Amino acid sequence: MKAIDWHVPAHLYDFVTNMPELMMAADAVICKAGGLVVTESLAAGLPMLLVDVIPGQEEGNRDFVLKNGAGDMVESPIQMLETLAHWTANDCKLLHERARNARRLGRPNSAFDVAELVWRSALRGPMNKRGRYGLGRTRLIDLFTRNNIPWREAQVETFEQFDE
């Protein structure tokens, strides 16, 4: 791809260490259907032009992207150029549509959502034999103290409802 004369501003990179910055500056991503790059592209609201799929391992990612209109699959350099031309025709109408679909699917705060879920579960504690959350306030404070986990009184009191 680096040997092609693009006739438009194009930046092609090998391995990079500043992927978030590059993604925020991009209009689209040309990539494999790998789980991480698909997830990151969706979180950034970037449509994907998928160029490769590992059978069995990445087919579900490809199918998800295509089914939801967040990208297209190409199988040759010519098809890639044709698809890019199609995306950018009519004032980039299709590119913008693919980007809207990617933004709709993306979960840019998912790491925070998971951390919140783990935190709430830790505060709630394990279930007792009656199917209730059996870790009371005192035991929770002891658990935090023994494991050097910083806590505030308000956090522990907020989750008293789980002790019932």
Q: Is the pLDDT of residue 127 over 70?
A: no
Angle (CA) 138 139 142, round 5°: 90
For the ranges 62-76, 78-92, 143-157, the lowest mean pLDDT is seen at 143-157
Average pLDDT of the chain to the nearest whole number:
85
**What average pLDDT does range 101-111 have in this prediction?**
93
Q: Is the dihedral of CA 131, 137, 143, 147 positive or negative?
A: positive
Domains of the chain: 19-105 (3.40.50.2000), 110-163 (no CATH)
Global confidence as pTM? 0.69
- Reply yes or no on whether the pLDDT at 138 is more than 80: no
Cross-strand partners of 52: 32
**pLDDT level of residue 22 (50, 70, 90 thresholds):** very high
Q: What is the pLDDT of residues 52-74, one digit of tens each?
A: 999 998 999 999 999 999 999 99
